[in-house]
A and B are shown apart, each in its own frame.
Chain A
Amino acid sequence: DTGVSQDPRHKITKRGQNVTFRCDPISEHNRLYWYRQTLGQGPEFLTYFQNEAQLEKSRLLSDRFSAERPKGSFSTLEIQRTEQGDSAMYLCASSSGTGASPLHFGNGTRLTVT
Chain B
Amino acid sequence: QQPVQSPQAVILREGEDAVINCSSSKALYSVHWYRQKHGEAPVFLMILLKGGEQKGHEKISASFNEKKQQSSLYLTASQLSYSGTYFCGTDKPGSSNTGKLIFGQGTTLQVKP
Contacts and interface: CB of A to CB of B under 8 A. Distances in A.
Contact of A95 (B34, B42, B53, B99): B99
Contacts of B97: 99-101
Nearest to A96: B99
A108 B41 contact: yes
Contacts of B2: 42
Given A42-B87, A42-B89, A103 B99 contact: yes
A97 B99 contact: yes
B102 A45 contact: yes
A45 B105 CA distance: 13
Contact of B105 (A41, A48, A107): A41
B42 A105 contact: yes
Nearest to B43: A105
A93 B55 CA distance: 18
Interface in B50-77: 53, 55
Contact of B41 (A55, A56, A106): A106
A31 interface: yes
Interface residues on A, range: 20 to 34
Interface residues on B, range: 20 to 34
Interface in A54-78: 55-56
B30 interface: yes
Nearest to B30: A100
A106 B40 CA distance: 8
A33 B32 CA distance: 15
22 contacts: A4-B41, A33-B100, A41-B103, A41-B105, A42-B2, A43-B101, A43-B103, A45-B101, A45-B102, A56-B98, A95-B99, A99-B97, A100-B96, A101-B99, A103-B34, A103-B99, A103-B101, A104-B44, A105-B41, A107-B40, A107-B41, A108-B41
Interface of B: 2, 30, 32, 34, 40-44, 47, 49, 53, 55, 87, 89, 96-106
